[in-house]
């Protein structure tokens, strides 16, 4: 039985050629050249002044918090419905995560949920462009500006998305991207942190290179910091992917359209779409009517039995064992009705860039059959 994968990249001769060139030439006088080219091209693509390549989006969020001076005693607001990589860096700097509820349509934090979590200890808000959707950024910017707190955009899943013509990754003091192998564009593993402030960019450069000031050649470390860098081979792959970004985004749009055409008018489930035409859904996400009597775990098992791989909609962070003893998690479990209502019945459907229309037909037929049983 051919399995239908949940996620995966589109790799062509261009990517292979760029990586082969880096293997052959990114040494000696050419050492690091692909990294510089990738960073410059990515900054140009977004229209931001600085782009810093990293081993992951998680490391980008960590550096953003450190560069902003956030630490013990501070609070950082983060959506409750997201992967733990969005919140873990808050603990890395010794701060406290505060979990905000989400919008039932975008699955992202709302201005109201962010405002409800503000306290005198709040120093930053991390918004997440979940699955490629984007929150009401203008309103959230207004909330953070009024409160005098920093805004960080976790755009890990949102390359290619935009809101009112403004690309994902252009909001806040920092925006961070993931290039994991499952993402729309990939470097295998990897990430990028972007910003416009020169001082913050220099601070990130120092923090990611073991505390060496930018340009230092004497190993004269100014502080104990981190080793957060991307290799030339990864950067070469990323550059090739970036040069194909319009094609990759078009593939994601076409994939989502196939699912909408086949499942969009079903009463027993909902395929998440958006009134924002700029959204590029990284993962096609379905919400099953609770009246069917199937939670996401059982539905995943049944689809897996017929060769179809899926992912569960994230569980609320405040429900995870990792946060079981956190007072803020206990508050969130009582407050965040939307996240707790949606999570048990949400599922990511196969969204790999390699999928054919026939693959999507098969997924939809099996899903409808299971729900009708």
**Which residue among the candidates 123, 183, 229, 296 is catalytic per the annotation?**
183
Cα distances from 165 to residues 145, 261, 335, in angstroms, run: 22, 26, 33
Query: Is residue 317 within 8 Å of 82, Cβ to Cβ?
Result: yes
Note the helical H segments in the chain.
13-25, 33-46, 57-67, 88-92, 111-117, 137-147, 198-208, 232-243, 245-263, 296-305, 327-335, 337-342, 357-372
* Count of all residues that appear for the chain in the document: 373
Q: Tell me how far apart the alpha carbons of residues 221 and 85 are, in angstroms, rounded to a whole number.
A: 28
* R_g (Cα) of the chain, nearest Å: 21
Q: Tell me how far apart the alpha carbons of residues 214 and 336 are, in angstroms, rounded to a whole number.
A: 43
Closest CA to 100 of 128, 123, 121: 128
Query: Is residue 357 within 8 Å of 256, Cβ to Cβ?
Result: no
The count of other CB atoms within 10 Å of the CB of residue 108 is 23
Q: Tell me how far apart the alpha carbons of residues 284 and 101 are, in angstroms, rounded to a whole number.
A: 21
Task: Return the DSSP state at 191.
Answer: E
Q: Which two tokens stand for residue 64?
A: 């953003």
Judge whether 183 counts as a catalytic residue: yes
Sign of the dihedral defined by the CA atoms of residues 333, 334, 336, 339, in that order: positive
Q: Tell me how far apart the alpha carbons of residues 17 and 237 are, in angstroms, rounded to a whole number.
A: 9
Which are the catalytic amino acids? 183
């Amino acid at each position: 039985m051919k399995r239908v994968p949940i996620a995966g990249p589109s790799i062509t001769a261009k990517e292979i050629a760029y990586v082969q060139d880096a293997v052959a030439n990114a040494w000696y006088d050419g050492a690091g050249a692909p990294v510089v080219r990738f960073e410059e091209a990515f900054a140009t693509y977004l229209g931001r002044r600085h782009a810093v390549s990293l081993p992951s989006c998680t490391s980008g969020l960590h550096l953003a918090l450190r560069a902003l001076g956030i630490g013990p005693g501070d609070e950082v607001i983060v959506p409750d419905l997201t992967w733990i990589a969005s919140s873990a860096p808050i603990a890395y700097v010794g701060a406290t995560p505060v979990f905000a509820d989400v919008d039932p349509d975008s699955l992202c934090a709302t201005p109201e949920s962010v405002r409800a979590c503000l306290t005198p200890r709040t120093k930053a808000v991390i918004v997440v462009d979940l699955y490629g959707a984007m929150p009401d950024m203008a309103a959230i910017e207004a909330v953070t500006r009024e409160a005098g707190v920093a805004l960080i955009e976790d755009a890990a899943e949102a390359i290619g998305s935009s809101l009112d013509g403004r690309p994902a990754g252009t909001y806040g003091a920092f925006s961070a991207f993931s290039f994991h192998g499952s993402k729309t564009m990939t470097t295998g593993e990897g990430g990028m942190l972007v910003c416009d402030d020169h001082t913050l960019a220099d601070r990130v450069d120092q923090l990611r290179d073991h505390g060496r000031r930018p340009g230092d050649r004497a190993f004269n470390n100014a502080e104990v910091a981190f080793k957060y860098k991307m290799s030339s081979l990864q950067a070469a792959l990323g550059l090739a992917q970036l040069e194909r970004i319009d094609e990759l985004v078009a593939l994601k749009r076409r994939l989502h359209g196939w699912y909408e055409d086949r499942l969009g008018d079903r009463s027993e489930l909902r395929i998440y779409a958006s009134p924002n035409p700029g959204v590029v859904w990284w993962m096609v996400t379905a919400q099953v009517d609770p009246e069917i009597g199937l939670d996401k775990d059982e539905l995943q098992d049944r689809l897996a039995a017929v060769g179809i791989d899926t992912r569960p909609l994230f569980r609320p962070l405040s429900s995870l064992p990792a946060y079981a003893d956190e007072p803020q998690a206990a508050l969130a479990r009582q407050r965040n009705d939307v996240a707790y209502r949606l999570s048990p019945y949400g599922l990511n459907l196969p969204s790999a860039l390699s999928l054919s229309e026939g693959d999507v037909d098969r997924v939809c037929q099996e899903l409808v059959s299971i729900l009708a049983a």
